[in-house]
């Protein structure tokens, strides 16, 4: 499934590249944003994201971005503060079903590659004579990847090089991670 999604994104980008090559529009848009992030089973925190996006045609847009994620909380026990810290590289492809001279609404699919460190605690029960439950700490490091579904609203004031908007996303890498936050962009 991973390879099929990557190949589909690549094939679409190559197919419509010829259409956008001779256009007189801008080079692309660089966006930076931050927002609230929630990770199952109950970690909350923030994400700082940066993305470069380019219109491939009048209805398609591709983006390449980086994210820094910092989540923490006490989802299982008050004894152990769990956390996830991750750095990701994202590849996104957006379809633009609604657009005017100043507004765009986009829906898209993407794929993310992530390097993370995490602390988790799972119950360990002993029952020789007296039943007891311990919460041993497990520190994890690793890499993962997964698909994402995104929705974005972007507003560009008339004849301005700046854009403003909000993005909501669901990422599925190791757990279901939801994100919502504003961004500011500069059209290059």
pTM assigned to the model: 0.80
Amino acid 20: pLDDT: 46
Amino acid 11: pLDDT: 57
pLDDT tens for 15-44 read: 555 454 445 567 899 999 999 999 877 889
> Rounded to an integer, what distance in angstroms lies between the CA atom of residue 171 and that of residue 147?
6
Contact in structure between 90 and 110 (CB atoms under 8 Å): yes
pLDDT tens for 72-116 read: 988 877 878 888 899 999 999 999 999 998 999 999 999 999 999
For residue 121, is the peptide bond before it cis, meaning its omega torsion is within 30 degrees of 0? Answer: no
Enumerate domains of the chain plus CATH numbers.
Answer: 2-11+30-73+84-113+142-187 (2.40.160.20)
């Amino acid at each position: 499934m991973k390879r099929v999604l990557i190949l589909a994104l690549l094939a679409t980008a190559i197919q419509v590249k010829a259409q956008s090559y001779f256009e007189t529009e801008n080079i692309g848009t660089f966006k930076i944003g931050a927002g609230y992030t929630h990770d199952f089973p109950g970690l909350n925190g923030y994400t700082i994201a940066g993305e470069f996006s380019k219109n491939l045609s009048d209805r398609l847009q591709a983006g390449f971005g980086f994210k820094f994620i910092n989540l923490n909380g006490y989802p299982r026990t008050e004894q152990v503060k769990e956390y996830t810290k991750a750095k990701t590289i994202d590849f996104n492809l957006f379809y633009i079903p609604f657009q005017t001279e100043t507004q765009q609404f986009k829906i898209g699919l993407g794929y993310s590659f992530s390097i993370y460190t995490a602390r988790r605690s799972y119950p360990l029960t002993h029952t020789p004579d007296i039943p007891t439950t311990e919460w041993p700490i497990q520190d994890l490091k690793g890499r993962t990847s997964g698909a994402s579904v995104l929705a974005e609203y972007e507003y560009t004031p008339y004849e301005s090089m700046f854009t403003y908007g909000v993005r909501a996303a669901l990422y599925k890498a190791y757990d279901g991670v939801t994100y919502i936050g504003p961004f500011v962009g500069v059209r290059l």
